[in-house]
A and B are shown apart, each in its own frame.
Chain A
Amino acid sequence: MEFMTLHDFMFWTKGMAYVGMGLGLVTFVAFWLFVTERDEDRFADKEEE
């Protein structure tokens, strides 16, 4: 990709950053669930029903 203006460059890179943020957030949740999967009190914070 070649960018002629700083604005073009930012339009592309900031857009990529937003996509990355979205992916990062979703994978972080998944990763946290993976890390804590075998904790006994994993759902201790949830209400007891």
Chain B
Amino acid sequence: MSHHTTPSKGFWTPANILTAVILAIGLVLTVKRFTMGIGSVTNLTDDNPWGIWIGFDLLCGVALAAGGYTTTAAVYLFGMKKYQSAIRPAITTAFLGYTFVVIALLYDLGRYYRLPYPLTIYPGPTSFLFEVGLCVALYLTVLAIEFSPALWEVLRWKRLRYYAHSLTLVLTIFGVVLSTLHQSSLGGLYLIAPSKLHPLWYSPYLTMFFFVSSIPAGLSMVIFEGGLSHKFLHHKMDDRHLAESSGVTLGFSKAAAVVLFAYFNLKWIGVALDHNWQHLATGWGAWFLVEMFGFVLVPCLMYAVAAREKNEKLAFWASILTILGIVINRLNISLIAFNWQLPAEARYLPSWEEIFITVFIITLEVTVLRICLSKLPILHEHPEFKGAH
């Protein structure tokens, strides 16, 4: 460590070096994917047409970007004005989250350049994927408008900022409608494959399970990122954001606890309705119980205690466990318990290149997020627009 911190040395921190290496390798793999085909970088087969790019990047990415609609609904529709400062960080993460979901999707689509087809010339309305595509496209637009004021403030384009802001109510309601639909429709994707998804995870309730679980997912992401920014971006946060952050954490903890509780109960009703009790005694049943108790009930109770005892640290750990639980649930449905009847040699395991491209996309997203948080009025109010919400 030198005392004379030249700008270049300040930039090349270990974290930034790691980022640069990941981005460089990721770019090489990107070129490989788009010049030599999906088969050249993935372990996808005719039996396993969807890998981690769908199971993780799409399913988990969308679920964990649910913080946008949950926070805007809480503040603008349900009158929790005291959480106002949580809005911008939540919208920013959601907007970037969805943007990178779409970018990841381009890697997975065989003919990515035809992405607009379903929404323009060849709609296929019987498909849940059509529903997902339509809602994600519309919601991305909504998020872009909701995110834009931060940009207009920096550029001092007051009129555009005013127009974008005057749509708040309509955008919030549209955002909740669209999120309800595409969060649930991601579960709906698997309704058509009852013979491939293990009965403990397949349920006619799949759509509802995906929607309900997206609420604690979104809330947990807000709590998790709140905790992280408190630690690492403290200097970027103004007094208001610092003062309100504990209220946001504890209020969201309470909400997450209650919704997780309901989700836990509904999952058992799903088992009861399809009479799948006998599967609980199998290895798959054990794994199901791990998911249900370890990653739904435990974080639910942790959140409950955190809210009761005003324990922000516990809430932070509960948020990590909830996020892990959501990831496990989505991976179970899309990969682990999917094609469970196939012989072991026909099962899917991602290639390192597939995983690396996912890591590359997440790194890209985090990098853009870091730039946004440090350059835009997100964790602090723009001095010229103070209190103008």
> Which A positions have Cβ atoms within 8 angstroms of B?
7, 10-11, 14-15, 17-18, 25, 29, 45-47, 49
Contacts and interface: CB of A to CB of B under 8 A. Distances in A.
Give the interface SS of chain A, mostly helix, strand, loop or mixed.
helix
A18 to B, nearest CB: 5
A49 B126 contact: no
A2 to B, nearest CB: 18
Nearest to B123: A15
A47 B165 contact: yes
B169 A47 contact: no
Tier of interface size on chain B: 10 to 19
Interface of B: 123-126, 134, 162, 165-166, 168-170, 174, 177, 388-389
Contacts of B174: 25
A1 B162 CA distance: 48
A11 B125 contact: yes
A7 B165 contact: no
Contacts, number: 27
Nearest to A7: B126
A11 B134 CA distance: 16
B125 A47 contact: no
13 contacts: A11-B126, A14-B125, A14-B126, A15-B123, A15-B125, A17-B125, A18-B125, A25-B177, A45-B169, A46-B165, A47-B388, A47-B389, A49-B162
Given A18-B125, A29-B170, 16 more contacts: A7-B126, A10-B126, A11-B124, A11-B125, A11-B126, A14-B126, A15-B125, A18-B134, A25-B174, A45-B168, A45-B169, A46-B166, A47-B165, A47-B388, A49-B162, A49-B388
Contacts of B166: 46
A15 B177 CA distance: 19
Nearest to B167: A46
A46 B166 CA distance: 6
A33 to B, nearest CB: 10
A49 B387 CA distance: 11
Contacts of A46: 165-166, 168
B258 to A, nearest CB: 27
Contacts of A15: 123, 125
A7 B165 CA distance: 43
A18 B134 CA distance: 10
A45 B169 CA distance: 8
